[in-house]
Structure formats: structure tokens, C-alpha cells
Structure 1
Amino acid sequence: MRLVRLDAEPSAVGADVRAAVTAWGEGESVLGGVAVFGCAPLGAPRPLDAVLVLPRGVVVVLGADLGEPATKLEAPLRTPWTVDGWPLVRDGAANPGLEALESAAALARGLQARGVEPLPVAAVVAVGPYAAQVTQPTTDLHRGLRVLSPTTTSVLAAARELATYERTCPAAAAHRLLRALDGGIDLSAAELVAEGFADTGDDDLGTTETVLLPKVRAAPRRPLSRRRSVLGGAVAAVVLACAAVLVVLLTGGPEPAAPARAVRQVDGVGFVEHAARRGTDCVAVSSGDVQAWFAEHPCREVSRARFATRTDGRPVVVAVTSVDTGDERSAAELRELAQQPGTGQVGVPLTGNGAEFDDAARAVQQTGARVRVVRAVWGDGPSAPEDVALRTAVERGLRLPL
């Protein structure tokens, strides 16, 4: 693994992470890839101790200092952490796991905004100075989060579990990804290939398959007389025409086939598009204080879509609204207003009257003159804004194409 240090690690345990990764050595014999230390992705809650750009995925590493060694650390996402039975006391976020997932999502959004072909982004929380036993719920492991005391073997095992994309990232795509992290990173194609990235000119991380179908020879026909052939063809044509007329008269015509629904992929998770609308009247499709703001600041365009997905085997409904305000200043005003509770909806979701999204998990994102609002609710029960599973769906919804 190639090492690049941009800045000092923001946590004390970050030095242990760097020591663990350094022990792997350069090249792909152990794992390969490039480790960037002291990285600060745009939109992340705080600087990261490391970003591991691997041939089959990206892993962000966030350090969490415990203050003193621990015998047992319980690290769930839904509740505060405990160290040897006592609540974790630290500066910053109360739950480092959520902070790590938000950092991973921010990095993924930043790469997509720069047009970089995204690899799946997972998260690791490195705790120290030492924790003999770390306990995580199984559902948290499935969300792509690992909490560990950093050693050469523990960080390596986590990276191998999390970076499992089906195809190796091409060297050219890895170069663009690293440049997006920091413009000063300029590794050559040969250096990246030596670290396990694919030596190919194909920058598309998607896969395609071409199937060649063999020609089928038609069976030889028995010879018929010309008169008999013409007569038979005429009779068959009349019968078919009469049958078609009868079908139209009795049924009103053949029933059209249902159109196939578009499926979008984010981090390997499918989102099925169930409805989409595009227009220019933001006032008509908003509510509350937001609607009043649009009355004074007409938008250029508003796009709304509703998607269905599944999380932990349960159905989730995701509503996405994207507004083109025309300029960055207006977009910043709208973002600040939309982030405040009780100010109304930016684009009523395309289902019912939108009331079912009152308790939704949500996120607001500004990119230039555009503001995107994403809401997610359970399709089979009550929802809560702080639900971790719904927040994960929301973060992915920020990267859904409209």
C-alpha cells in the first residue's frame, strides 16, 4: 500500500492506524491501494484520520480517543457507547459510529459531485489507546461499519471485509479519485497498477456482457403449387383481419404492457422509481414558510421523484426533490430555511398529501444553485427522524440521479 500524508491525524489513535497500515508495505502483496492520512473531505463532520483507496472499495477511518485503555467497549449505532459499563465521554459527537457513517456519505457525495466514478464507501472507527473487546450489533456490521482497536491484522481484516466491489477499479479512475481528495496527489498509472488497480483504459466501473446468438437455419419447405400457395395466403389474411377486428370490437384493443420501472443503484442498493414529475412552479408543490419564500423567489425548475427500496428486509419509501434556484445565494437561503424544523416542505412528496413524511428522516444538500431535499420513511410502520436505517437510506438518496 502506498502512503500519502496530507496533514497530521486529528486523533491520538490515528498514529496507531498509520503504523498498522505502514506495516503492510508497498505493492499489492498484502492488500494494495493508497492510504491518504489527514484528509478532510468536503461536507464531512470533521477531518478523517485516513482514507483507504483500495482496488475494490474506499474505506474512511475515523479515530475515537477513549482517554484510557478499556476492557470492553459496546459500540451500537442506535444508543450511546459504553466503556467498561460507563457512558463514553468525549469531545465532539456522542456516537462516533454515526459520525463515521456521515463522513463516508459526505465523501461519496463529494466524489460524485466531481464526476468521479464512485466505488462503495464504507467506514471504520479506530478506538484507542486500546480496547480488549469491542461489541457491535450485527445490523450495524451489515451497514458497512467496523469499530476496532487498530492493529496491523484488525485494520487489514476490516478492509478486506468492506472493500468487496465486484470489479477492480481501473488505474485511471483511481487517479481521478485521489486527485479529488487532494490536488497534490499525483501518482502515475504504473504506480497505481503496482498497487493492484486494473491496467486498462476502461474507466467505467460498471459491467457489460455481450451474448452472441448463433444463426438458426430454417427448415426446408415442401414445394407447393403457386396457385395453392396464393389461395392459402389470401384465406389466412382474411381470417387474421377478421379476428383482429373482432378483438378490437369486444375488448377495445389489446391491453398495453405495463412499462418497466427504472431501477437506480447506489452503493449496490437498488432504488425502484415509482413516480417522477418535473416543472417550474415551486409554489404549487411546496408548503409553509418554504412556499412563502418561493412566492418571492421563483425557481427555475423543480424535480420530484419517489423511490422504493428495502433495508433490513423492510420496505422504505424515499422522496427526492431537487430545486434549481438560479443562483448560489438563493440556494444558500433555501437550504438554511429547509434545514429548520417546522418551515414546511420543499416539494410535496409524490404520494398522498405528503403527511406520511412528517416523521421522516431527511437531509438537505446544496450544490451550486441547486438544493436537494431527501426524505425516507418506513413503508410498513411508524418512522422517526433519527432512525439510523432511514438516515442511511436518506444519505444514499442524496446520490440518486433525477
Structure 2
Amino acid sequence: MRLVRLAQQPSRVAEDVRAALASLGRGSTVVGGVALIGARPADERAVEAVIVMPKGVIIVIGVDLPDPALKLEAPLGGPWKADGWPLVHGDTSINPATDALSLSAACTHKIADVAPGAGPIGTIIAVGPYVETVDQPPSDLAGSVRVLYPTATTMLAATVSLATADRPRSVQQARELIAALAPDAPPMPEEMLLGEGFSAYSDEEPTIVRENPLVAIAPTVPVRHPGKAKRPAKPATPPAPPAKPVQPSAAPVKPVAPVRQAPLPVAAAAPAPAAQAPASASAESAPKAPHQSKTVKWLPLAAIGLLIVLLVAAITVASGGDDTASTQPPPPPTPATSSPPPSSSAVENIQFTSRASAADQKCASHAYGDVQASLQRTSCTTVKRASFASSIDGRAAAVTVAVVEFPDTALATAFKAAADTPGGGGILDLATETNQWQGDVPVFEGAAYQSSQDGNSVRLIQVVWVPGPSTPDDPGLVRGAKAALELPVNG
């Protein structure tokens, strides 16, 4: 799921909502969609989020409780209780979610107006500051409203249960809906929305448009084949061989045939007989047809003979090449010893072994947290990522490197400031994404972090122990992170 921050969220539990949505990751691997953080779909106060998903729309509204609770009884049409104590909100409210449900209804009507047939529209009432268990009656769970404390698990379960359309909405429909709900949202390219699970085509244009070009091409297929259809007519000339048994008196002529056949293989080397065969078959009389059929039979034999000569020559050359190669054993070891250096580098007495490297322009797709939001606002030109296995002070470590390039220095400086903010997110590790780690898969939590800027380019480094745990101020990890600033990353 992709996050787009539009405005400050109104409740205290909003930070937990944003963290839970960010934990779902990018793309459609889990649920997919675009979360509009701080949107105002009903032109009233901002909601925590409006999640436009391929198979539904979910409105997330925060409700702040007076204190944390272990158990919250939260019927939508009755009073709430926190650890057995009743909760009220205002003089006329049945429960703290009364106002939130009214706002949700207004948002639902607005979405239905701007996007008729938008699919299922659900509501999540996010309560906080902390609730261990939320007890919602089964009748409420059968509807389209969920009351929960926002965690990665509860948000995932709610989004899956509320977005239940039969078919995903198209990229164009998603763009129109996002533009109607959040006019200030940055435009999203088609590739980005396809990566979030939206369909490339709407329900109105399933296959008809695609089939028309094929129907136009189909008539051309038989038009090209009549030329080939004439080739079976050549076997029609071989019916002349049955004329042989009809002429028993022609048997003595067979000794003369080899005399005439002798020059024919020489003529077969020229391309003329292939072109003259149809003309001669139609112009000459029936007695000459047997000779032409014999030349046709000799053509493949001559070709096979030529191929045999070429094969013998090739084998002779190859065997000679093997002999010359065997007389010079030193050259092969040279390329063998020169291949490891591209995958292994040493910086400040620390050895780094490459595990994965790649480069593309999908900048925000490879980021998370505030770094992802920054790249969504001002996308980079290229992101190069690399993963290295290392050994620091005799202990195994993993290094992930990201080099992000921008059109100008000002954008690079702003991005580095966002990346350097603690808890601001970062760039995902390439080898973890592509399953290229050998042995234990590193977890980049508590990683030592370093960054540097060179003009329009920003380099981000994270280093952790394998296996962990790791701490950001570990001297060995910090030393490895500083050394990784000098690693070559080609992508």
C-alpha cells in the first residue's frame, strides 16, 4: 500500500494509524492501494485516511479514548465500556464513535456521488491511545464498520474483510477517484498504480478492443500461405514416376541415365534449378519429368555431402584449436583469478562481498516511511541498490547501500534531510527483496546508519550483525557503515 500525506491528522491515534498502514509495505503483495492520509472527502474535518483499494474504499477515522484499556466493549448502537467502566462522549452521544459514524456516513455519500459503482465502502474506527482487545458484537462485525486499535495485524484483517469487490478497479477509475477525494494529491503514473494492484482496463473494455486488431490481421495469414500451398504441387510432379512401370521397354535406358546424371550435381550447386523447376515442369513434355525428379532427389544428397565436408573441416579446426590451447595453459588461470574482484571489495581492511545489485527509476517503490513520501513528492532520476556480506572484527555482518540521484542539488539536500531524520524511513534492501541472501536473512532493525551527499547524489548505508541483535551506536557496525560509504555501486 502506498501512502500519500496530504494534511495533519486530527486525532492522537493518527500516528498509530499511519504506522500501521506503512507497515503493510508497498505494492500489491499484501493488499495494495493508495492511502490518502489526512484527506477531506466530505469537505469537513480531515479524516485519518481514505484508502482507495483495487476492490474497495475504506474510510479510517480516529477516536481518542480518555485512557488506555485492556478490554473495550464497543457496540455501534450502544454505550461503550472500557475495562467495565462506561464511556460517554458529549451530552447527546451514545458512545465516543457517534460523531465518527456521522462523518463516515457523509464521506460515504460523497464517494458514492463522485464515483458511482465504486464498490464496497467500509469504515474503520481507530481507537487509542492503546487497547489490547476490542469486543464488537457479531451483528456489527457482519456490517461494514470495524472498531479496532490500529496495528499491522488488525489493519490488515480489516482491509481484507472490507474490500470485497469481484473485480479490481481500473487505473483510470483509481485516478479519477483519487483526484475527486484529494485534488492536492500528486499525480501517479500508470506503472505505480499497476504495481498497487489496479487493473489496466476497465470492465467496459475487456477484450473487444484487443480482438479487433487480431481480426484485421487474421485475413493476411492465408494470403501469405498460397505461395507455400503451391509447394505441395511439386509432389504432384512425382506422379510421373508411376510412368516408369508403364514403360517396361525403357528399362535398358537406365545405364545411360548415370551418364546424364553426372553433370547434374554440378549444376545443382547453382540456384538456377530451384527456380527453373516449376517452369520446366509446365513447359517440357512428360518424358523429361523423370530427369527433373531425379535432379530434385540429387539436390539433398549434394547438400548433405557438402555439409559432411564442412563438418569434417570444422572438427579439424576445432581439434587444432584444442591442441594450440593445450600448449598454452597459463592464459586460462588469468581470467579465472580476475573474476572475483568485481564481486568483492576491501575498504579500510574490511572485506565486502556482493550479494545483489540493481538500478532503476522506481524510486518511491523501493522506499518506506517518510522517505517514501518524500520520493512520491519529488521522484528521483535513478536509484542504485546493492547488498553486501561482510566480516567486521571476525563477526558476520550485512550491508545495504542505496545511491539515489536527483535532477538538482536542492532536491538531493531535501531528501537527505528526510532520510537522516530518526524514524523517517529508508530504502529497502535489494537482496532481501529478491531472496539472494545466503544463510541467515538479515533484519535491518537497530542498524548503524551513515549517509553522504555528492552533488545530486545521496548515498544511504545500513549495517547490521547477522544474526542480530544490532544497535545503531555499535562501534563495529559504525566503522563498517563508514567504510561502506566508499563502496562502488554500479547497479
TM-score w.r.t. length of structure 2: 0.39
Question: Normalized per residue, which structure has more strand?
Answer: 1
Q: Which is bigger in relative contact order (C-alpha 8 A, separation at least 6)?
A: 1
Question: Normalized per residue, which structure has more helix?
Answer: 2
- Which has the greater radius of gyration? 2
TM-score w.r.t. length of structure 1: 0.48
